[in-house]
């Protein structure tokens, strides 16, 4: 991958270039307290775009998989049925997407585009999306209490699946091109030649940043084995389930959660729209089948489902990555503290207790 | 909480990480709240009924019609022939103007909110015993509680944000005591789960007080300095007996003792109960406050009484005086001095006689006295589990409904005024920890709708009142002059951070995190002696106890649920699984009667019988049968035959053929 150097004051010029190319650019802004969000960049707010800030809680996956979207309109007229799909294919860019969320979008790509059936709605959005990854380097502002991307091997610097990657080296930014479209930017003279010293500095900073993660860790490997082998006791799942308050929040904030439901609703005489909405495995209607059977009626069965889906070897093999990117959002959103890091710990602890030998 | 808008549409909702109450955690309803404003079923024009059919009319015609009819009815039957009800989801500004319209313009105290029946018990008890009608502390303080008692509220379903605070406190080392006849989600994490027989709470608390007194664990310095009525209370406590109480409540004596000792010995202990839909008489609330006074669990970080309000603005509508017997700020309507103060601000004379409460209104129009009913975002036909709202609305000469949708109640209205939705107007709500919060406008209102406070202003002006409010902020400024503990709550102050907790006064503009934190009132608290007169032995013919108003499924009738695609599915699922509704029974009771999950059963009570299905679940205690309150058939056929409002009815359950 090719790398260039950008003067410190020029980093938002990437946003300007993207806008000049006709992209709708979404970038992070800071609000009250630790609150941050992605918003559409306009002439008015462009100066307030932030490079270093806590990763927005409401994940950028909504730019490829909206919270709610219309898929099509269906109209009945003179015995005929007309179907009019609603595609959104504007050129969009996300400036400042963190490495965990880049991994999240890649995971969604594998799910929605990686197999026989390609999801057209997702594909049109994704094809038109340009990603400018920002590497988390500031332990105070970038790295949250719940971040654990080193455990999920997704950060702090993404290795692929971005168009451009921006990393703060202190006095200047290093910019890495991850795609031909990204590399095309280097034609602009503001991108200067990088030296071996720059590369070395990047390596040194990343080595340092990896040590600056806070309290959260998630030691996946053994848990993946226990989950895949089904050796986790029901008692442990029940303990996890009884702390779930069924809000669905973990799914909604997860950059790698793919689930949705589809509903038809009347919009006029003889006319309906079909919408797709984020869904959550915590909700009991999620797995209920026509006829009334619900294989996951008990809450702990539904929680079990979430972690099986994310950590079982079968799914990892199918999608080439765990469906957890280490962003820590589920740990922050959970009422009962059963986000990924806690659950991994509970499973490991329970299994360790199980292993205790009885001296005779 | 943030709403995400694209163009002029709200397309998503997410919590604020930094909010001091929820710290980034919201419930399933919050995650879907954005779907209300963008619902395709919204009303877009005022509707006027003529010959049984609604037709769209102009605002002028609608307002003119309402004012004309109200004048006529008042002239013919007097001001008390009109009544005004709202939903506990109304904004403070709407609530304030609604009661002002009733009191200052029409001249009646017939104002109440839909949940008044239960919540007002809690308000009256707290005012009487503590002098404040609200939660004494902040939710964030639960993280510092050593012991947390959760009484009679399924926090996981009803108030997950607070349920989460409790679970996390427990994980951090707090002891958790759950007192409930249901084994709900939070009970699974309890150190002491006291699964008592329905309705025996006062006995249980009496026994706990006895244990504390016997062990000498009373906080005598606290009692001496701050409380009245201790001797009388103590005399009654001696009537209680731990073993007898254990028998009556169906809870092991060791459990009661352990819970009492944990509570009394804790450096800081909090008690949480719901003021909402659940059966909540005055006695259990009195018993809870007694226990807190006895042990001095007030005015300390992590201690206190949490009178949880189950709706987004139940606290606020009460603060605003949507109560038949109290002015804004809770002063008694009968108090001449209080009335004079409000009269000075409003410039009119106010009626001194307390008005009719919602229960009486929705039972029989206050014995037929009321002829016109105003429903501000309130849908009693679908949500009131007392009275017979549909029948009452049919008998009224004038029903005005303000709502987003053509609700079941609005169908009975003569005029329907379409209102703006959450996110389309800038108004305030007050949460359960007294936090007055500003909800920001993020999109333009749907064309054809207007804010409910503005509609109230228009009607008042059409009736000749000189109301001048250009915005909801103006209304809040007036609220600040009428409600002393809101005097510092102007919009600029509320917008600065995450709202302010009242008392938020001119002298304390930053609000008050915890009541009594800066000193307890000398002799300001009062014990309430509770006589042990509970009858819990079931008649032999009717061995089970039917418990009504069970709010576990309550949210299924929320406006949000009916207009959110995912939540609607969750609701439908219940109806699909149990098309005839259901009551819940314990598996042991069911087994004994040969009843399996989903089977048809018949309930026999002394006054009537009803057919429904059984949902067999270990969450229910043996001996109890729970009726979710949307199962109206059971309500009407059994409860309808008893005295209005009875919560516990002895029944017999038999399997129904076919």
| Angstrom distance (rounded) from CA B469 to CA B551 | 38
Query: Is A266 within 8 Å of chain B by CB?
Result: yes
Q: Which residues of B touch A (CB under 8 A)?
A: 2, 4, 11-12, 14-18, 24-28, 30-31, 34-35, 38, 40, 155-156, 160-161, 163-165, 167-168, 171, 185, 188-189, 497-498, 565-566, 568-570, 572-573, 576-577
Which of B185, B499, B564, B572 is most worth mutating to test chain A (most A CB atoms within 10 A of its CB)? Answer: B185
ipTM above 0.95, yes or no: no
- For chain A, give the number of residues: 360
Question: Inter-chain contact A34–B17, Cβ cutoff 8 Å?
Answer: yes
Question: Inter-chain contact B160–A62, Cβ cutoff 8 Å?
Answer: no
**Least confident residue range of A318-322, B231-235, B538-542, B591-595:** B538-542
pLDDT at position B276: 65
The token duo for B537 is: 């032995």
| Closest chain A residue to the Cα of B164, Cα to Cα | A335
The token duo for B351 is: 């009626």
Q: Which of A34, A37, A265 sits opposite B18 (nearest CB)?
A: A34
Question: Inter-chain contact B31–A57, Cβ cutoff 8 Å?
Answer: no
Which of B27, B154, B164 is most worth mutating to test chain A (most A CB atoms within 10 A of its CB)? Answer: B164
| Angstrom distance (rounded) from CA A46 to CA B28 | 34
pLDDT band, residue B106 (cuts 50/70/90): very high
Query: Is A316 within 8 Å of chain B by CB?
Result: no
Q: What angle do CA B21, B24, B29 make, to 5 degrees?
A: 90
**Least confident residue range of A98-107, B13-22, B292-301:** B13-22
B573 CB neighbours in chain A (<8 A) are 284-285, 288
Q: Which of B2, B25, B577 sits opposite A335 (nearest CB)?
A: B25
B154 CB neighbours in chain A (<8 A) are none
The string of pLDDT tens digits covering residues B126-164 is 999 999 999 999 999 999 999 999 998 888 888 899 999
Bridge-based pairing state of the strands A172-177 and A192-193:
unpaired
A78 SS3 class:
coil
Mean pLDDT, chain B, as a whole number? Answer: 88
| Angstrom distance (rounded) from CA A149 to CA A130 | 22
Q: Which of B11, B27, B28 sits opposite A68 (nearest CB)?
A: B11
pLDDT band, residue B549 (cuts 50/70/90): low
Query: Is A42 within 8 Å of chain B by CB?
Result: no
Q: How far is B19 from chain A (nearest CA, A)?
A: 8
pLDDT at position B630: 63
Query: Is A54 within 8 Å of chain B by CB?
Result: yes
Question: Inter-chain contact B185–A66, Cβ cutoff 8 Å?
Answer: no
Question: Inter-chain contact B16–A67, Cβ cutoff 8 Å?
Answer: no
Better pLDDT: A277 or B572: A277
Question: Inter-chain contact A33–B17, Cβ cutoff 8 Å?
Answer: yes
| Closest chain A residue to the Cα of B568, Cα to Cα | A285
Q: Point out which residues pair with B604 in neighbouring strands.
A: B609, B652
Judged against a pLDDT cut of 50, whether residue B303 lies above it is answered with yes
Query: Is A279 within 8 Å of chain B by CB?
Result: yes
pLDDT at position B301: 92
Mean pLDDT for the stretch of residues B117-132: 83
pLDDT at position B154: 86
Judged against a pLDDT cut of 50, whether residue B644 lies above it is answered with no
Q: Which of A245, A267, A277 sits opposite B566 (nearest CB)?
A: A277
Mean pLDDT for the stretch of residues B291-300: 93
B35 CB neighbours in chain A (<8 A) are 68
A265 CB neighbours in chain B (<8 A) are 40, 565
Judged against a pLDDT cut of 70, whether residue B536 lies above it is answered with no
Mean pLDDT for the stretch of residues B337-344: 94
pLDDT at position A33: 87
Bridge-based pairing state of the strands B269-274 and B147-151:
parallel
A359 SS3 class:
coil
Judged against a pLDDT cut of 60, whether residue B116 lies above it is answered with no
Judged against a pLDDT cut of 60, whether residue B643 lies above it is answered with no
Please report, for chain B, the start and end positions of each structural domain, with discontinuous segments joined by +. Answer: 1-38, 39-115+313-501, 119-308, 544-655
Q: Which of A33, A279, A299 sits opposite B18 (nearest CB)?
A: A33
Judged against a pLDDT cut of 90, whether residue B641 lies above it is answered with no
pLDDT at position B476: 96
pLDDT at position A129: 96
B161 CB neighbours in chain A (<8 A) are 335
B159 CB neighbours in chain A (<8 A) are none
Question: Inter-chain contact A288–B171, Cβ cutoff 8 Å?
Answer: no
DSSP-derived secondary structure letter, A61: G
Question: Inter-chain contact A334–B164, Cβ cutoff 8 Å?
Answer: yes
**Least confident residue range of B115-119, B228-232, B381-385:** B115-119
Q: How far is A137 from chain B (nearest CA, A)?
A: 21
A57 CB neighbours in chain B (<8 A) are 14-15, 17, 24
A289 SS3 class:
coil
| Angstrom distance (rounded) from CA B31 to CA B13 | 6
Q: Which of A62, A265, A299 sits opposite B12 (nearest CB)?
A: A62
| Angstrom distance (rounded) from CA B337 to CA B340 | 5
What fold does the segment set B119-308 form as a domain? Dimethylsulfoxide Reductase; domain 2 (3.40.228)
The string of pLDDT tens digits covering residues B591-618 is 999 999 888 898 888 778 888 888 898 8
CATH of domain B544-655: 2.40.40.20
DSSP-derived secondary structure letter, B621: P
Question: Inter-chain contact B27–A245, Cβ cutoff 8 Å?
Answer: yes
Q: How far is A124 from chain B (nearest CA, A)?
A: 19
Query: Is A332 within 8 Å of chain B by CB?
Result: yes
Question: Inter-chain contact A57–B17, Cβ cutoff 8 Å?
Answer: yes
Contact between A14 and A95 (Cβ < 8 Å): yes
Q: Point out which residues pair with B49 in neighbouring strands.
A: B54
Where would I find the beta strands (DSSP E) of B387-534?
398-403, 415-418, 427-430, 435-439, 500-501, 525-526
Question: Inter-chain contact A335–B569, Cβ cutoff 8 Å?
Answer: no
Q: How far is B408 from chain A (nearest CA, A)?
A: 19
The token duo for A317 is: 């093999």
Percent of chain B beyond pLDDT 70? 93
pLDDT at position B538: 63
B24 CB neighbours in chain A (<8 A) are 57, 332-333
Q: Exposed (0-12), middle (13-18) or buried (19+): which is A349, by Cβ within 10 Å?
A: exposed
Going by C-alpha positions, the residue among B266, B257, B268 that lies closest to residue B214 is B257
- Chain A residues 290-309 with CB within 8 Å of chain B: 292, 299
The string of pLDDT tens digits covering residues B191-214 is 999 999 888 888 999 999 999 999
Number of H helices, E strands in chain B: 25, 25
pLDDT at position A300: 77
Contact between B99 and B263 (Cβ < 8 Å): no
Per-residue pLDDT of chain A (360 residues; tens, 9 = 90+): 899 999 999 999 999 999 999 999 999 999 988 899 999 999 999 999 999 999 999 999 999 999 889 999 999 888 899 999 999 878 999 999 999 999 999 999 999 998 888 999 999 999 999 999 999 999 999 999 999 999 999 989 999 999 999 999 999 999 999 999 999 999 999 999 999 999 999 999 999 999 998 887 888 888 898 889 888 888 899 899 999 998 899 999 999 999 999 989 888 888 999 999 999 888 877 777 766 676 666 777 778 888 988 998 888 888 888 899 999 999 999 999 999 999 999 998 888 776 666 766
The string of pLDDT tens digits covering residues B449-486 is 999 999 999 999 999 999 999 999 999 999 999 999 99
Question: Inter-chain contact B573–A57, Cβ cutoff 8 Å?
Answer: no
Question: Inter-chain contact B566–A279, Cβ cutoff 8 Å?
Answer: yes
Question: Inter-chain contact A68–B12, Cβ cutoff 8 Å?
Answer: yes
pLDDT at position B122: 86
A146 SS3 class:
coil
The string of pLDDT tens digits covering residues B394-443 is 999 999 999 999 998 999 999 999 999 999 999 999 999 999 999 999 99
A145 CB neighbours in chain B (<8 A) are none
What fold does the segment set B39-115+313-501 form as a domain? Rossmann fold (3.40.50)
């Amino acid at each position: 991958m090719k790398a260039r150097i950008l003067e410190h004051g020029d980093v938002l010029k990437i946003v300007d270039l993207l806008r000049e190319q006709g992209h709708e650019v979404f970038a992070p802004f800071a609000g009250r307290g630790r609150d941050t969000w992605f918003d559409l960049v306009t002439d008015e707010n462009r100066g307030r775009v932030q490079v270093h800030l806590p990763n927005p809680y409401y994940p950028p996956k909504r730019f490829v998989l909206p919270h709610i979207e219309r898929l099509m309109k269906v109209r009945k007229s003179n015995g005929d049925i007309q179907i009019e799909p609603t595609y959104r294919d504007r050129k969009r860019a996300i400036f400042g997407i963190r490495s965990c969320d880049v991994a999240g979008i890649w995971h969604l790509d594998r799910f929605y585009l990686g197999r026989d059936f390609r999801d057209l709605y997702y594909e049109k959005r994704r094809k038109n999306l340009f990603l400018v990854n920002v590497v988390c380097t500031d332990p105070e502002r970038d790295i949250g209490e719940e971040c654990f991307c080193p455990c999920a091997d997704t950060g702090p610097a993404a290795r692929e699946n971005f168009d451009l990657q921006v990393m703060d080296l202190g006095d200047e930014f290093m910019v890495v091109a991850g795609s031909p479209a990204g590399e095309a930017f280097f034609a602009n003279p503001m991108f200067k030649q990088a030296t071996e010293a720059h590369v070395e500095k990047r390596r040194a900073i990343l080595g340092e940043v990896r040590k600056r993660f806070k309290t959260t860790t998630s030691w996946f490997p053994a848990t993946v084995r226990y989950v895949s082998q089904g050796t986790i006791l029901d008692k442990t799942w029940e303990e996890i389930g009884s702390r779930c308050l069924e809000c669905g929040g973990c799914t909604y904030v997860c950059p790698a959660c793919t689930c949705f439901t589809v509903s038809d609703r009347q919009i006029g005489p003889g006319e309906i729209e079909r919408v797709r909405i984020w869904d959550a495995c915590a909700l009991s209607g999620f797995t209920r089948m026509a006829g009334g059977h619900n294989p996951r009626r008990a809450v702990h069965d539904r929680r079990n489902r979430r972690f099986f889906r994310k950590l079982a070897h079968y799914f990892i093999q199918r999608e080439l990555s765990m469906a957890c990117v280490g962003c820590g959002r589920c740990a922050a959103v959970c009422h009962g503290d059963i986000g990924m890091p806690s659950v991994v710990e509970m499973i490991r602890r329970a299994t360790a207790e199980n292993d205790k030998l009885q001296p005779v | 909480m943030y709403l995400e808008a694209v163009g002029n549409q709200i397309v998503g909702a997410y919590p604020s990480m930094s909010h001091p109450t929820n710290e980034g955690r919201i419930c399933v309803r919050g995650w879907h709240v954005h779907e209300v404003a963008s619902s395709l079923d919204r009303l877009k024009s005022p509707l006027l009924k003529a010959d049984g059919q609604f037709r769209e009319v102009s605002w002028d015609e609608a307002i003119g019609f309402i004012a004309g009819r109200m004048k006529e009815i008042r002239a013919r039957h007097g001001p008390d022939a009109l009544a005004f009800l709202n939903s506990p989801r109304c904004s403070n500004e709407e609530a304030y103007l609604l009661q002002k319209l009733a009191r200052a313009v029409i001249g009646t105290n017939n104002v109440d909110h839909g949940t008044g029946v239960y919540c007002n018990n809690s308000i009256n008890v707290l005012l009487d015993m503590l002098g404040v009608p609200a939660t004494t502390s902040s939710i964030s303080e639960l993280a510092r509680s050593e012991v947390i008692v959760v009484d009679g509220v399924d926090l996981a379903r009803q108030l997950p944000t607070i349920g989460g605070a409790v679970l996390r406190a427990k994980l951090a080392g707090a002891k958790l005591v759950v007192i409930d006849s249901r084994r709900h989600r939070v009970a699974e994490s309890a150190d002491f789960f006291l699964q008592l027989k329905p309705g025996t709470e006062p006995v249980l608390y009496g026994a706990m007080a006895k244990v504390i007194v016997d062990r000498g664990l009373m906080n005598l310095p606290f009692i001496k300095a701050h409380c009245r009525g201790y001797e009388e209370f103590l005399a009654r406590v001696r009537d209680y007996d731990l073993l007898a109480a254990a028998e009556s409540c169906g809870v092991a004596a060791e459990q009661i003792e352990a819970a009492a000792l944990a509570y009394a010995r804790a450096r800081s202990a909090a008690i949480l109960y719901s003021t909402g839909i659940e059966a909540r008489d005055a006695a259990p609330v009195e018993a809870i406050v007694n226990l807190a006074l006895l042990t001095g669990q007030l005015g300390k970080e992590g201690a206190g009484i949490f009178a949880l309000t189950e709706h987004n603005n139940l606290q606020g509508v009460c603060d605003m005086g949507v109560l038949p017997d109290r002015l804004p700020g809770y002063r008694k309507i009968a108090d001449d001095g209080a009335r004079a103060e409000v009269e000075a601000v409003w410039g009119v004379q106010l009626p001194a006689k307390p008005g009719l409460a919602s229960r009486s209104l929705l039972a029989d129009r206050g014995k037929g006295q009321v002829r016109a009913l105003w429903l501000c975002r309130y849908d009693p036909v679908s949500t009131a589990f007392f009275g017979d709202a549909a029948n009452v609305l049919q008998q009224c000469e004038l029903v005005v409904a303000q709502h987003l949708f053509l609700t079941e109640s609005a169908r009975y209205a003569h005029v329907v005024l379409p209102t703006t939705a959450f996110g389309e107007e800038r108004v305030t709500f007050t949460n359960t920890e007294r936090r007055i919060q500003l909800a920001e406008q993020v999109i333009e209102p749907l064309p054809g709708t207007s804010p409910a406070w503005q509609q109230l202003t228009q009607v008042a002006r059409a009736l000749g009142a000189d109301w001048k409010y250009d915005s909801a902020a103006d209304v809040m400024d007036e609220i600040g002059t009428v409600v002393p503990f809101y005097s510092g709550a102007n919009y600029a102050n509320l917008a600065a951070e995450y709202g302010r907790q009242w008392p938020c006064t001119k002298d304390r503009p930053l609000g008050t995190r915890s009541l009594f934190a800066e000193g307890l009132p000398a002799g300001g608290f009062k014990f309430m002696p509770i006589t042990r007169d509970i009858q819990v032995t079931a008649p032999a013919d009717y061995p089970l106890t039917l418990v009504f108003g069970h709010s576990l499924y309550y949210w299924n009738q929320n406006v949000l649920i009916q207009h959110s695609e995912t939540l609607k599915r969750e609701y439908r699922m219940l109806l699909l699984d149990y098309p005839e509704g259901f009551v819940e029974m314990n598996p042991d009771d069911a087994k004994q009667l040969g009843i399996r999950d989903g089977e048809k059963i018949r309930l026999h009570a002394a006054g009537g019988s009803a057919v429904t299905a059984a949902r067999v679940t270990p969450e229910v205690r043996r001996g109890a049968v729970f009726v979710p309150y949307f199962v109206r058939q059971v309500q009407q056929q059994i409860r309808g035959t008893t005295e209005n409002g009875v919560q516990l009815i002895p029944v017999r359950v038999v399997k129904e053929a076919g």
